Amino acid sequence: MTKLSRRSFLKAGVAAGALAGAMPLMAEHKTATDIVTLGRSNMKVTRLAFGTGTYNGRVQQQLGQEGFTKLVRYAYDRGIRFFETSESYGASPQMLGKALKGIPREKYQIMTKVTTDEGVNPMTRFDEMRKNSDTDYFDIMLLHWQHSGTWVKDTRNWQDAILESEHKQTIKSHGASVHGLPALRQVPGTDWLQIAMIRMNHKGTRMDAENHDGPDLGNVTEVVSHVNQVKKEGMGVISMKLIGEGVFNHEDRQKAVRFAFRDAGVDCVTIGFKKNAEIDEAIDNINLAFA
């Protein structure tokens, strides 16, 4: 057997190292419970959020407090750390506060939405919302159901109140939830926004059209173009109506998840649940979308 010289050995080692360096590393698959950053807000949340507003919260409230608490704790045990509610969802904020009681507050994030009524003191409304949710602060505050082409101008006092609350550390980040193309078209270029909540699925079901509450299918192409633009501007994007407000079958739920993340490029999604199996499926569908 020919003896390998030290020089030959070193050459072989360098060549092997170069070859190994040229080989692509196996990337870790993204999952539903990964922590993602929502653009310039720097808010970190799980890719999947637990929604409490199915049909304005009626679906979750019908579980009763005990059943709802068990569902929230199951989601938490599965790795979901992001919970979405609104002061317009009836008893949902109070029920969510009770369900999360005992878990260290820094271990999860709450996103809530405020209805921008006229003649209401925003700071008083925020105080009431924190009390109802049994929390000292909200991680994300969204202006709820913005559906006109003038919403940016019309909500200046609410925007200013949110910034004041952020200074007081009772709100950590902010954005808006929009409905209808006239409202959505105002999102790109709105410097105040850190986070945009946008309806998204592959079929356009319950998505944005010219009439915000009409029967027409949404304009998927235009919606995706706005998502792409606001992402370039540094906004975080959260999608809702991912499963067509519960009307999609299993195959379309999978397609909707894949479309939202792979084609539209949203950061995370919120889905309303009423049983453990739905949580399991949503996690599986998101994991599969990135497989």
Residue 59 lies in a domain: yes
In a domain, 15, yes or no: no
Give the number of other CB atoms < 10 A from CB of residue 19: 9
CATH number of 241's domain:
3.20.20.100
Does 78 fall in a domain?
yes
Answer yes or no: is 9 within a domain.
Answer: no
Answer yes or no: is 220 within a domain.
yes
Residues 220 and 33: their CA atoms lie apart, in Å, by 26
Per-residue pLDDT of the chain (291 residues; tens, 9 = 90+): 444 444 343 344 434 443 344 444 445 789 999 999 999 999 999 999 999 999 999 999 999 999 999 999 999 999 999 999 999 999 999 999 999 999 999 999 999 999 999 999 999 999 999 999 999 999 999 999 999 999 999 999 999 999 999 999 999 999 999 999 999 999 999 999 999 999 999 999 999 999 877 678 999 999 999 999 999 999 999 999 998 878 899 999 999 999 999 999 999 999 999 999 999 999 999 999 999
- With respect to residue 274, please indicate whether it lies within any of the assigned structural domains: yes
Residue with tokens 């992001």: 82
Determine if the pTM surpasses 0.75.
yes
Which residue segment(s) compose the domain that 243 sits in? 31-289
Task: Give just the sign of the alpha carbon dihedral 26, 31, 37, 38.
Answer: positive
* Residue 20, domain member (yes or no): no
Closest CA to 184 of 156, 155, 217, 151: 151
Give dist(CA 70, CA 5) in Å, integer. 68
Number of structural domains found in the chain = 1
Is residue 19 in a domain? no
Beta strands in the chain (DSSP E): 35-37, 44-46, 48-51, 82-84, 109-115, 140-146, 174-178, 195-199, 236-240, 268-272
